[in-house]
Structure 1
Amino acid sequence: MLVAAACMALAGSASAQLFENKDWVESPAPPAPAFDASRLIPIEMPTYLSLRFGIDPATIVITGDGVVRYVVVASNKAGGATNAFYEGIRCATGEMKTYARSNGGAWEVASQPEWKIFKLQSSTHTAALASQAICRGSAPRDSVKDMVGHLRNPIREVE
């Protein structure tokens, strides 16, 4: 069963890359935006996870190259450590990139951020965020307002 699921994930990624625009160039990522933990909208996650994830809707930006950038915050359900990540999702290829991280202090910029297929990288929060709110198939949703609406009322779509 796991082998079949892995094969399907690879096949989906391979087809996305097969039809990928070879001339695509990512726009430069601006510095990580300020975020406010009081504005976080929770991302619906499996109950077995020990972390909670939320996204600050004021940080969501859809760029002209099809990348959606945002700040997501992870915190331990038992209290304690909180970490923030400035990430991007590319719906067209099912990839994500982490541009910077913060553990409550200043942002630490990733030295060489790379696009990674989020379903194969154990990025459970990224996969959940993409399917619940950010992506509509292989494209970003039409607007940040639409994304925020789906964050507040997640509807799982068939992939």
Structure 2
Amino acid sequence: MVSVFSSLRPPMAGVVAVVLAALLSACMGGRTALFEDEAKPEWKEGALELPPLPFEKDLIPFHVSSNASAAFYVDGRSLRLGDDGIVRFTLLVRAAGGAENLSYEGMRCETAERKLYAIGRGKSEWVLPRAAEWQRISDNSLNRQYAVLAKEFFCPPGAVLPTRDEILGLLRSAAPVR
């Protein structure tokens, strides 16, 4: 059997090969895999709406680590699942000595990132941070609370994203007795 390319001069064989590759690519519609998903629309973050400051009765404790000296709480009233795929929540970190850090944050399960939206000043107001960039969630001892929230409550691996009520149920059922 004689190849199509053997009867052509060497420079012409290269041109034919390029044309055939281009035609084949056009027939495939630019896909590189048989079951490749359709192109996703460009992601756009929703507008920021700050929640009311939390009341003690609405704080749900969650366990971070037996080594953690601080206590961690999510304000159940502030928990929101946005149309943009972000889980927004108020986080309270209470140190053993009583000092508190209050923040309003977002977690994007699709990219395993978090973002600080606002910081609580005392118990009276929210203040916007100087820098509000998305940061990768890492499971380290310094910021383990984010990994716990992501893996155990907001973005369980291999599962469909839970609803707001399901997240609240998970938090409440896992909450240690105060």
TM-score range, shorter chain: 0.7 to 0.9
* Matching residue within 80, 87, 95 for 1:68: 87
Q: Distance in 2 between matches of 1:29 and 1:139?
A: 27
* Number of residues of Structure 1 aligned to a counterpart in Structure 2: 134
Displacement of 1:38:
2.1
Give the greater-gyration-radius structure (CA). 2
C-alpha contact 1:52 1:75 (8 A) present in aligned 2: yes
CA distance in 1, matches of 2:78, 2:49: 12
2:148 alignment counterpart: 128
| TM-score normalised by the chain length of structure 1 | 0.75
Question: Equivalent residue for 2:72?
Answer: 53
Counterpart in 2 of 1:23?
42
Kept in 1, the 8 Å contact 2:94–2:101? The answer is yes
Q: Which 10-residue stretch deviates more, 119-128 or 42-51?
A: 119-128
What is the TM-score normalised by the length of structure 2? 0.67
Q: Is the 8 A contact 1:55 1:73 kept in 2?
A: yes
Amino-acid identity (%): 28
Answer yes or no: is 1:91 the counterpart of 2:76: no
Contact kept in structure 2, 1:52 and 1:74, CA below 8 Å? yes
Number of the residue aligned with 1:15: none
Superposed displacement of residue 124, structure 1: 1.2
| 3-state SS in 1 of match to 2:125 | coil
Segments of structure 2 that go 5 or more residues without pairing to the other structure are 1-38
Q: Which has the higher contact order (CA 8 A, sep 6+)?
A: 1
Q: Does 1:150 align with 2:170?
A: yes
Q: 1:27 to 1:151 in 2, by over 3 A?
A: same
* Cα distance between partner residues in 2 of 1:111 and 1:21: 31
Is 1:108 aligned to 2:99, yes or no? no
Q: Deviations over 1:11-51 (max 9, x none)?
A: xxxxxxxxx95711111111243211222111111121121
